[in-house]
Amino acid sequence: MSKAFNRRAFISLLTLPIGCTIQFIEPISSLKTNRIEPVGGVRDPAVGQSWVYRKYNCYNSQLLDVVKEQVAKVGKDIQIVRNAKEPAILSDEIHSEWGRVKRDSYWEMVQTYEKFVPYWLNGMKVGEKEDFETYYFSDTSSFKYWLSGRIYFVGWEKVKLPAGTFDTMHFEKIIRLPQYDSFRLDTVRRDSIWLSPEVGRWVVRETNGEYRVSGGKGGSIRREDYFRWQLESWT
């Protein structure tokens, strides 16, 4: 998260009523390691594999849900079925190949991409990056919207969670996109994952973003939800 983003988050707290407190979620407990081998060796998907995540609101540390994700199909596409503990219907996640997502249901609106968007990089060295651009469709609109971004490999990190300690590859992704709401301008999102090759998926994923609202001199900056999905168990 940028320093400017942190400052805006802090300033917004000053408007809260006296006596109201917010406890931001603790940072991920991670330690950079000296592994230099190229990215690769991520466990292949197989029908029945599953992951259970605890979903948190990073702004106040509140546990929002427990989500189970399970591989339902492996073939031309890879389908992951997502089920929430709280009463809600979650859309499936679809990959054209493992790590190349065609349908991402982690955001406020489900996004179906005209061309895949990378979740992680294959065969890349630490510090390397990949730019991408495509169009996406939402389930609530017949229009398609442009999307572009960059993903880069931050490095190997050892992440310690209640579920265990994992050797992970840390990827950061910056995404720029317009949205169906014409008053929301210049949306920029950050998608951070700590991918465990052994687990075959991330052990931690964090998503947040900000956008400008039209009106006035230059408009005003608003924040999107800031979530963390943290691995609880896997098979």
Integer Cα distance of 50 and 48 in angstroms: 6
Write the DSSP string, 158-214: EEEETTEEEEEEEEEEEEEE--S-TTEEEEEEEEEEEEETTTTEEEEEEEEEEEEE-
Residue 44 lies in a domain: no
* pLDDT grade for 150, boundaries at 50, 70 and 90: very high
Domain-located, residue 210: yes
30-77 pLDDT, tens digit each: 999 987 776 668 999 999 999 999 999 999 999 999 999 999 999 999
Buried b or exposed e, range 149-164, using 16+ CB within 10 angstroms:
bebbbebbbebebebe
Element (H, E) at 131: strand 129-138
End-to-end CA distance of the chain: 31
* Residue 10: its H or E element: helix 3-13
Looking at this protein, which amino acid is placed at residue 173? K
Report the range of poorest mean pLDDT among 26-30, 120-124, 145-149, 227-231.
120-124
Number of domains in the chain: 1
Cα–Cα distance between 71 and 198 in angstroms, integer?
Answer: 16
Query: What is the domain extent for residue 160?
Result: 3-35+110-234
- Identify whether 51 is part of a domain: no
